[in-house]
Amino acid sequence: MQPTESRPENTARPGAPIQARQRRFPRRWLLIGLLGIGVALTAVFGIQPRIEARAALERETANRSAMAVSVIRAKPGDATRDVVLPGNMQPFVSTPIHARTSGYLARWHADIGQQVKAGALLAEIDTPEIDDQLRQSQADLARMEADYQLAAATAARWETLLKSGAVTRQAVEERTGAAAERRAALEAGRFQVARLRKLQGFKRVIAPFDGVITARNTDVGALIEAGSGTAGRELFHLAATHKLRVFVNVPQMYAAEARPGLAAELLLAEFPGRTFPGKLTRNTRSIDAGSRTLLAEVEVDNASGELLPGGYAEVRLKLDAGQRALMLPVNALLFRPEGVVVGVAKADHRTALVPVQLGRDFGTEVEVVSGLDGSEDVILNPSDSLANGVEVKVVPQAPAKKAGS
């Protein structure tokens, strides 16, 4: 009989295996959780930077492929437009002084550059022929007065005789007609004497208005011919310079605004930094077909006498701008066969070519009268090959360098 092997008794409690398994399960889940955390950390600190670097690289590539441009916005122009035009200064009144009687110059009393008042004696003319004619006419007038007195007395006596029937009505009418004839001759003689006295009065050459003598074309002893024809050369030239008339030819495009009352200024090279105010007073209301300009007159006060008539001046007319135009620098323009355009950077960073109509050219700037409203970002220094839809990147303008830096 084989001995039976004795087995140790299981002293464990009946629920022991279940409790052991329950202890092993949390460890497994813990390991899985730790592994997941490790994977997440790896993704965060390893993969995410790579994704961000890739996105940054793509953005950088896109930025490098976009055209870098500087932009500017059109600024509004001035409420008034200054137009500078050449002008000719002339005296307010300019008159040649001619002799009204013939003779020889006895004396002159005014020379060039002299200011004279109205009524001032300029010269005296010796007129021996007019003097002789006047004396003869006065003698004839005295004879005519005597003849008339005799004829009138005779007619009166014959009227008395007619009442008594001593003479006929026809004889009385003959005497009355003779008296009327003598009276007409007497009146003619009086007019002749008055005419010669007026001619004799023209021996004194008088200034007709206040002004300055700008020419003296005679001298003592010179033969004077009456009248203003070829033979009658002017003795003096008198100009009123307290005011000047400045004549300016206004181009047709500004003619509608060159109305009387428009403010103006004179600029002269001999007075640097100074302006002389004036006012447009009248125009011809007609465009010259040859020059396509409107002749206008600007009055300028010259009480000081600084401005010399006959000189050249630049006239600045302050025209009303009406609808204010926009101003753009000339380096924003593109000249294409279809006309002038500007490049605009739109909100989606794409370009658009906008046609514009230009006004006046100020050298570095030009007027834009249509095509823009001032809210557009206009590209500066655009490439000649710029087209619609080009992707651009707006960069700040470089600051302007100071002079001498």
pLDDT tier at 22, thresholds 50, 70, 90: low
Residue 69 falls inside a structural domain: no
Strands 67-69 and 392-394: parallel
d(CA 88, CA 311): 6
pLDDT tier at 117, thresholds 50, 70, 90: very high
Residue 187 falls inside a structural domain: yes
pLDDT of residue 69: 84
d(CA 398, CA 405): 15
Which residues form the domain of 171?
128-202
Residue 141 falls inside a structural domain: yes
Of residues 261 and 47, which shows the higher confidence score? Answer: 261
Give the mean pLDDT of 89-117: 94
| Residue 272 pLDDT greater than 80, yes or no | yes
> Which of 80, 99, 348 lies closest to 226, judged by CA?
99
Residue 381 falls inside a structural domain: yes
Residue 59 falls inside a structural domain: no
d(CA 226, CA 201): 13
Task: Give me the chain's average pLDDT, please.
Answer: 84
Please give the backbone phi and psi of residue 108, each rounded to the nearest 5 degrees, phi first. Answer: -120, 150
Residue 97 falls inside a structural domain: yes
Please give the backbone phi and psi of residue 350, each rounded to the nearest 5 degrees, phi first. Answer: -120, 155
pLDDT of residue 403: 44
Question: Domain check: are 218 and 347 in the same one?
Answer: no
Give the mean pLDDT of 122-133: 93
We report the CATH number of the domain holding residue 343 as 2.40.420.20
Give the mean pLDDT of 209-235: 85
pTM (predicted TM-score): 0.59
Question: Domain check: are 243 and 115 in the same one?
Answer: yes
Give the mean pLDDT of 369-380: 88
